[in-house]
Amino acid sequence: MKKLFAILLVACMAVSLCACSSNGGSDDAADVKGEGVMTYAEYMAAPLDSEVTVETYVQAKESWWDNKATIYTQDKEGAYFLYDLPISEEDYNKLTPGTKIKVTGYKTEYSSQIEIIDATFEIEEGSYIAPAFDATSILGTDEIKNHMTQLVTIKGLTIEASDANGAPFLYNWDGSGSDGDHVYFTASLNGQSYSFNVRTYLCGPETEVYKAATTLNVGDVVDVECYLYYYTDQPQPRVISITKK
């Protein structure tokens, strides 16, 4: 099973954004929504478990597995996290960064992360790559939640010990893993600590960001680019780029 997963992961990472982080936000995205399509504000105001329809643009995707994939999408208004989108491998390969899709599914919440599940999609004309939003000044404020799952940069973070033994990073959240598993690290800004991770389904061991995460030292000061995932009502960003100062 591990061998099969590794083969699939390497194949899928060829289309990941992790090898080259934000590309500056070129776009031809229209602000006008199609008939029956929600604005981002309408989507966020919709009750949980209700059906939603949005038009959005693929920014990154996790590896395809068992006819499902998790997709990070965004438009000019906000981000839409598509969890376990049912999709064939052929269609998965069509969803390159910038691709416009119309998605109908159900809005739900998992441990404070808003997402769309049980969705269907269709590819539409148009393209948009979202520029990274600088969230440094609002990290630790209520405003940060308005940028949930968006591509953001956070600058001037200081790496802290991730466990009682002083480890600068952990394989898996509890240190139970090994090289090739998700990498978790703790970093602080303005006296407050946050958990970050490099998710192997999104950025595998062969990517620069994964290698950078596994060479962190306590006290390093870094800038990160990440998708602002939420967990237990706190940001737990999924990192796609690390730059040491």
What DSSP letter does each residue of 125-163 carry, written as one string?
Answer: EEEB-PPPEE-GGGTTSGGGGGGTT-EEEEEEEEEE-SS
The yes-or-no verdict on residue 15 having pLDDT over 50 is no
> To 5 degrees, how large is the angle CA 171–CA 82–CA 232?
50
Confidence at residue 25, expressed as pLDDT on a 0 to 100 scale: 53
Confidence at residue 1, expressed as pLDDT on a 0 to 100 scale: 42
Half-sphere exposure of 150 (CA within 13 A, CB side): 21
H/E element, 79: strand 79-86
Q: Where in the chain is the domain with CATH 2.40.50.140?
A: 23-127, 133-244
Lowest mean pLDDT among 28-32, 40-44, 68-72, 233-237: 28-32
> Rounded mean pLDDT of 98-112?
98
Q: How far apart are CA 171 and CA 174, in angstroms?
A: 7
Paired residues of 197 in beta bridges: 184, 238
The yes-or-no verdict on residue 3 having pLDDT over 50 is no
pLDDT tens digit sequence for 117-145: 999 999 999 999 999 999 999 999 999 99
pLDDT tens digit sequence for 161-173: 999 999 999 999 9
DSSP 3-state percent helix, strand, coil across the chain (nearest 5): 15, 40, 40
Confidence at residue 22, expressed as pLDDT on a 0 to 100 scale: 43
Q: Which two tokens stand for residue 35?
A: 């008939």
pLDDT tens digit sequence for 181-190: 999 999 999 9
Share of the chain above pLDDT 90, in %: 86
Nearest alpha carbon to residue 10 among 120, 19, 183: 19
- Give residue 177's pLDDT band: very low, low, confident or very high (50, 70, 90): very high
Q: Is 8 helix (H, G, I), strand (E, B) or coil?
A: helix
pLDDT tens digit sequence for 200-236: 999 999 999 999 999 999 999 999 999 999 999 999 9
pTM: 0.89
- Type of residue at 215: T
Instruction: Name the phi and psi angles at 161, rounded to 5.
Output: -65, 140
Q: Which two tokens stand for residue 85?
A: 């989108």
Who's near 42: CB < 8 A, 6+ residues apart? none
Question: What class, spelled out in words, does domain 133-244 have in CATH?
Answer: mainly beta
- Give residue 178's pLDDT band: very low, low, confident or very high (50, 70, 90): very high
CATH assignment, 23-127 = 2.40.50.140
Q: Which two tokens stand for residue 37?
A: 């399509």
Q: How far apart are CA 179 and CA 191, in angstroms?
A: 30
- Please report, for residues 25, 29, 130, 211, the alpha-carbon distance to residue 102 in angstroms, rounded to integers and kept in the order given: 20, 13, 17, 35
Share of the chain above pLDDT 70, in %: 87
Nearest alpha carbon to residue 129 among 239, 22, 13: 22
